[in-house]
Amino acid sequence: MEEVNRTSSEKSSIRYFAGYLKPFKRHFIAAVLFSGTGALLNLVPAQVIRYILNEAIPNRNIKFCAYAAGILATTFLLRSLILRFRTRLVTRMAQGIAANLRRDVFFHMQRLSLSFFDNARVGKLLSRITNDSVFIQQFFTSGSHILVATALTFAGVISISLHMNWQLTLIAIIPMPILMALIRKYSRIAHRIYRNLRMQWGSFTARINDNLGGIKEIKSFAREEYEEDRFNDENEQAYSLGIDAGDLDALYDPLIEFIGYLGMVLVVGLGSWLILHGKMQLGDLVAFLLYLDLLYDPLWRVSRLVNIWEHARAASDNISRVMSVPTEVYEFPQAIEATDSLRGTVEFKDVSFSYREKELVLEDLSFKVNAGERIAVVGVTGSGKTTMLSLIPRFYDVDKGAVLIDGKDVRDYKLSYLRRNIGIVQQDPFLFSGTIKENILYGKPDASEKEMEKAVKAANLNAFIQSLPGGYNTEVGERGVKISGGEKQRLAIARVLIKNPPILILDEATSSLDSRTEILVQQALERLMKGRTTFVIAHRLSTIKNVNRILVMNHTRIVEDGTHDKLMAEDGLYAHLYKLQFELGDQTELLTSIEW
């Protein structure tokens, strides 16, 4: 994941996730025991067949043949039952591990600072939660118990084979060092390929997510072919890496299998010679070949396990990089949470802030806003208006100085308490896929019907909701696509009204609205701002005509502070922007060339 800086402290191995086995310790131990028992049962059929060929058939012992058939049937039944119970256990373990992993990655992302998401691509983060966790789940499903079964089978086969015929055993193990060397080389190459493949799938997912999220813009600019070309580029890269992975398997799988069969050819050759010279019985050779299959089968399983392991290791690298990102805005253990709401006095003391080191966005800001005051924040694009107000709810933490609310540093409050006391209405409010009611109650899930209706009326949304066939249960669509911009704004206002916070931040809340809709939104905002400490960032003068003070920002600093009349008299930046707006058009029209 390119967005996250790699550090030497990152844990880039599947061992990072070993702790996820703890809640499923009993499942794992039981699965290991079942695998071990199954491995031991696998040793039985060869011995039974050996005695049938060497003893029962030559001596025409029908009773022993029947007895042997019963033993084989019982062995295969037990193996089937063991496989069933082991599969159930391993499935529950793997699904539980994947669920816990997805939960922890999601929860960790929820607590990361906005600065992380400023640099991250949503599609790649989505891939970490979904795709990468699946590969780790597959490792625990298919691989966690194989090593135990492999070790027991190998040890059992070697012991029995040595006892039966040590010469054949030595011949049988000749290819093994070559097989192990091949598997090791395969592992090194596969890790690189699968790591690149996982990263590419993350990029591919991000491309699709960006495309679907911006489908209106794509269609409005008729850029479908351009987006198809970009998709094809990503798709071709994923295809190419997938082909590389397939070619690697196509080379090593048959090679490993062929070398294993070479061992079988050597055993058949030597075994046949021993039988012809009376030094070995046919049943011994057949049993030995059956054991030889058991001997090489674990190695083939290990090669498959290496494939699963490399997928999981590449996925774990991606996830561990996200999990190793520190939470920049963290809550102090001694953070306080009062039973009452905050009063709403806000003060900035010598505040400086930067997104990147040595690139100050805010520099030495100092001002105080009394509870209930309305403050407008204006300035040219990039002067830091939105960033400054983002420090109040601690979306970011200051580099220097302090932001105080009611005389206490915002870092002294519990984050949940602090943010419950702050309401934010943005230019393009986000609505969750669901009903109008669900979106309004997002501000206060336990609100009563009366509280909701009061908030809806105050937000000038009541007539609109009553006109809908589904009323409050009308679906708004993904990101509120089924309702207009003005309705989204008023719904966002209702969501904040029901929350009833003492501090309010309006970030360009009435820009890009027609005059009639603006009046409805402005009326709702007036009711919302009443009695609250309010910060307003706005394009339109109508949203700041009733404020107590105006803060004018330019190049990271507050350059002017005062009432409209005072700032006009000073004939500074504010007066210049104000006059320019009126020279270019009516005061109710949006200036697209200047951002206040």
Q: Which domains does the chain have, with CATH numbers?
A: 17-323 (1.20.1560.10), 338-421+502-596 (3.40.50.300), 432-500 (3.40.50.300)
For residue 30, which amino acid is it? A
Nearest-angstrom CA–CA distance, 553 and 542? 19
Mean pLDDT on 192-212 = 75
pLDDT at 535: 92
Contact present, 162 and 156 (Cβ < 8 Å):
no
Q: Alpha carbon of 589 to those of 513, 514, 524, 584: distances in Å?
A: 10, 9, 20, 9
- Alpha helices by DSSP H, 459-557: 462-466, 485-499, 515-529
pLDDT at 3: 40
User: What are the φ and ψ backbone dihedral angles of 94, each rounded to 5 degrees?
Assistant: -65, -40
pLDDT at 352: 93
The SS3 assignment for 404 reads strand
- The number of helix segments (H) and strand segments (E) in the chain equals 21, 10
More confident residue, 558 or 95: 558
Mean pLDDT on 14-25 = 72
Nearest-angstrom CA–CA distance, 218 and 15? 44
- Inform me whether the pLDDT recorded for 367 exceeds 90: yes
- Inform me whether the pLDDT recorded for 15 exceeds 70: no
Lowest-confidence region among 133-137, 227-231, 384-388, 542-546: 542-546
pLDDT at 588: 41
Structure tokens at 232: 């094809």
Mean pLDDT on 248-262 = 78
Give the single-character DSSP code of 435: B
The β-bridge relationship of strands 408-409 and 400-405 is antiparallel
Lowest-confidence region among 76-80, 526-530, 553-557, 591-595: 591-595
The β-bridge relationship of strands 400-405 and 346-356 is antiparallel
Lowest-confidence region among 40-44, 66-70, 250-254, 510-514: 510-514
Q: Which residues of 208-236 are buried (b: 16+ CB within 10 A; e: fewer)?
A: ebebeeeeeebeeeeeeeebeeeeeebee
At which residue do the structure tokens 């905002």 appear?
Answer: 525
- Inform me whether the pLDDT recorded for 69 exceeds 90: no
pLDDT at 457: 84
pLDDT grade for 496, boundaries at 50, 70 and 90? confident
- Closest among 372, 359, 457, 455 to 406, alpha carbons compared: 372
- Closest among 282, 264, 236, 259 to 171, alpha carbons compared: 264
pLDDT at 596: 40
Nearest-angstrom CA–CA distance, 563 and 550? 6
- Closest among 542, 543, 545 to 586, alpha carbons compared: 542
Torsion of CA 486, 492, 497, 502, to 10 degrees: -110
- Inform me whether the pLDDT recorded for 39 exceeds 60: yes
The SS3 assignment for 146 reads helix
More confident residue, 567 or 481: 567
The β-bridge relationship of strands 374-379 and 549-554 is parallel
Average model confidence (pLDDT) for the chain? 79
Lowest-confidence region among 7-16, 104-113, 269-278, 552-561: 7-16
Lowest-confidence region among 8-17, 310-319, 428-437: 8-17
At which residue do the structure tokens 């059992």 appear?
Answer: 156
Lowest-confidence region among 15-29, 41-55, 200-214, 434-448: 200-214
- Inform me whether the pLDDT recorded for 558 exceeds 80: yes
More confident residue, 208 or 77: 77
Mean pLDDT on 23-27 = 84
